[in-house]
């Protein structure tokens, strides 16, 4: 799967400003080979190592029909899926409702036909490859090492517009992440992930090596503060990277291009080799990014502890404090607790808390204030009614609004899909989400009105009724499509 050419060369983000996260076991173990291509016959690997002085084993068994073990760009897709799952609020059932388009865009990849074909292969590899980590998977809640066996994707459903069951821009997906990964994320066994820097790197191998290196910077017992250097035996490192040819000169040649790019992009300060042959040791020294050590006092803030105790990840909590300040966060935390005390029903409390803190539109009235009555807004095409905000009197736009470029139809549809998938989750099936996206593209129903109506239904606690009305609209869309195709 080739990659869209990038002209912007981003620098690494200072540690205290990174807002995205990665599950720490996945990153540290390196489940996906860094090599861009592997033979189809390379369908299994085994790595033996030590954890706290005890033997540990990691294995992968894959299917040749899907191209061997997960490798190369599979890591970009896996990272994008995990990032979308975290963004959706980390639901405890591990399900993510998304689209093929959203996954490719989050991974920084183009969305022409062949990219969707390769995305399908990647998803099948992640669904069918079986991993077994023997005494190598960290149970963060209990503070010990366990044995787990899993497929990266535990479930996969998608819609297709042709008889070959291909993925396309209109494909809706329902993905379920592996239970061990979900448990780790929800117990906050995570590390910061600089997604913007990652997706700006040119080569798949560089991005894969960056993910593994960045994970090894953090202590497996407490993955919060990065170290500034990391040393490892060359052969052990080749096994961690899942490099097939483990001759020392071949290992160095495989890594050289990625090393050069990471040094050029100011992530690495240097890469040094000591010794000869199989006894060689490779030492990575990381560049100290501006502000890397600044702001670390924030990690000891009592308010940060309150947020993380409510299952907000450390990186997200730190970002909220930096962006809004302690006074604002403290006030919104109190408002969040008043909402819960008043009986407000939240499917995911940590996601609600983050949204309350970020809210700039007064979406959450004080519990003592009854929300103003709003008449239902009719769908522009079906006559069915969906809850939505009333029409407002015309007003003069602000300078910022006047200068803002209108969103493209593509952006409007993806924004609406993302919001509705997050709110409705399993209320719609994968095929119904696919039909919804098709309808939004042709304006039946309107993307902006439908999204606003969903948000209002969430505030009013009427998502079930909203879903019934939306399904009725989709029924008319389906009939229209069938009539057009005859």
The secondary structure element, H or E, covering residue 262 is helix 248-264
Residue 37, pLDDT above cutoff 80 = yes
Task: Out of 5-9, 128-132, 275-279, pick the least confident.
Answer: 5-9
Q: Which residues are 201's β-sheet partners? A: none
- The three-state secondary structure class of 408 is coil
- The three-state secondary structure class of 84 is helix
Domain definitions of the chain by residue range: 15-286, 296-358, 377-485
Q: Band of the pLDDT at 477, cuts 50, 70, 90?
A: low
Q: Would you state the pLDDT for residue 258?
A: 96
- Residue 35 and residue 250: Cα distance in Å, rounded? 12
**Regarding predicted confidence, which is higher, 477 or 441?**
441
Any idea what DSSP says for residue 244?
S
Residue 211, pLDDT above cutoff 80 = yes
- Residue 268 and residue 197: Cα distance in Å, rounded? 13
Q: Which residues are 48's β-sheet partners? A: 57
Q: Would you state the pLDDT for residue 274?
A: 93
Does the predicted TM-score (pTM) go above 0.75?
no
When the pLDDT of each residue in the chain is averaged and rounded to a whole number, the result is 83
Q: What is the pLDDT of residues 286-323, one digit of tens each?
A: 988 754 443 444 555 678 878 888 878 766 777 788 77
Q: Which residues are 46's β-sheet partners? A: 59
Beta-carbon-side half-sphere exposure of residue 234 (alpha carbons within 13 Å): 24
Q: What is the pLDDT of residues 349-392, one digit of tens each?
A: 888 898 899 887 777 878 765 444 444 433 433 333 444 333 33
Any idea what DSSP says for residue 286?
E
């Amino acid at each position: 799967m080739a990659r869209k050419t990038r002209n912007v060369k981003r620098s690494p983000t200072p540690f205290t400003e990174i807002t995205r996260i990665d599950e720490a076991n996945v990153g540290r173990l390196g489940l996906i080979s860094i090599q861009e291509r592997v033979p189809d016959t390379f369908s299994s690997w085994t790595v033996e190592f030590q954890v706290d002085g005890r033997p540990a084993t990691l294995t992968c068994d894959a299917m040749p029909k899907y191209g061997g073990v997960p490798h190369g760009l599979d890591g970009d897709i896996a990272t994008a899926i995990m990032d979308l799952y975290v963004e959706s609020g980390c639901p405890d059932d591990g399900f993510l409702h998304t689209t093929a388009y959203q996954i490719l865009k989050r991974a920084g990849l183009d969305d022409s036909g062949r990219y969707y074909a390769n995305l399908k292969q990647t998803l099948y590899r992640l669904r069918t490859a079986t991993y077994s980590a023997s005494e190598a998977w960290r149970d963060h809640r209990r503070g010990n090492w366990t044995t787990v066996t899993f497929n990266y994707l535990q479930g996969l459903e998608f819609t297709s517009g042709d008889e070959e069951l291909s993925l396309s821009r209109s494909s809706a997906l329902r993905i379920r992440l592996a239970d061990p990964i979900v448990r780790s994320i929800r117990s906050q066994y995570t590390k910061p992930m600089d997604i913007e820097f990652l997706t700006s790197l040119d080569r798949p191998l560089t991005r894969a090596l960056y993910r593994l290196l960045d994970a090894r910077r953090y202590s497996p017992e407490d993955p919060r503060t990065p170290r500034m250097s990391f040393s490892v035996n060359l052969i052990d490192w080749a096994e961690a990277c899942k490099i097939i040819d483990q001759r020392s000169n071949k290992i160095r040649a495989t890594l050289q291009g990625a090393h050069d790019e990471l040094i050029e992009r100011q992530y690495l300060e240097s890469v040094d080799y000591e010794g000869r042959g199989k006894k060689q040791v490779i030492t990575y020294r990381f560049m100290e990014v501006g502000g890397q050590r600044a702001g670390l006092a924030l990690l000891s803030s009592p308010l940060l502890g309150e947020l993380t105790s409510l299952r907000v990840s450390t990186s997200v909590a730190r970002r909220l404090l930096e962006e809004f300040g302690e006074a604002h966060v403290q006030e919104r935390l109190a408002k969040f607790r008043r909402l819960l005390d008043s009986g407000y029903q939240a499917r995911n409390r940590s996601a609600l808390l983050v949204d309350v803190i970020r809210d700039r539109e007064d979406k959450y009235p004080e519990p003592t204030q009854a929300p103003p009555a709003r008449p239902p807004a009719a769908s522009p095409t079906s006559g069915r009614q969906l809850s939505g905000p009333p029409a407002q009197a015309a007003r003069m736009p602000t300078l910022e609004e006047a200068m803002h470029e209108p969103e493209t139809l593509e952006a409007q549809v993806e924004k609406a899909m993302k919001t509705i998938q997050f709110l409705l989750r399993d209320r719609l099936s994968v095929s119904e989400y696919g039909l919804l996206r098709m309808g939004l593209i042709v304006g039946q129903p309107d993307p902006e009105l439908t999204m606003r109506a969903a948000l209002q239904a969430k505030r009013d606690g009427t998502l079930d009724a909203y879903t019934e009305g939306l399904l009725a609209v989709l029924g008319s869309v389906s009939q229209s499509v069938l009539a057009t195709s005859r």
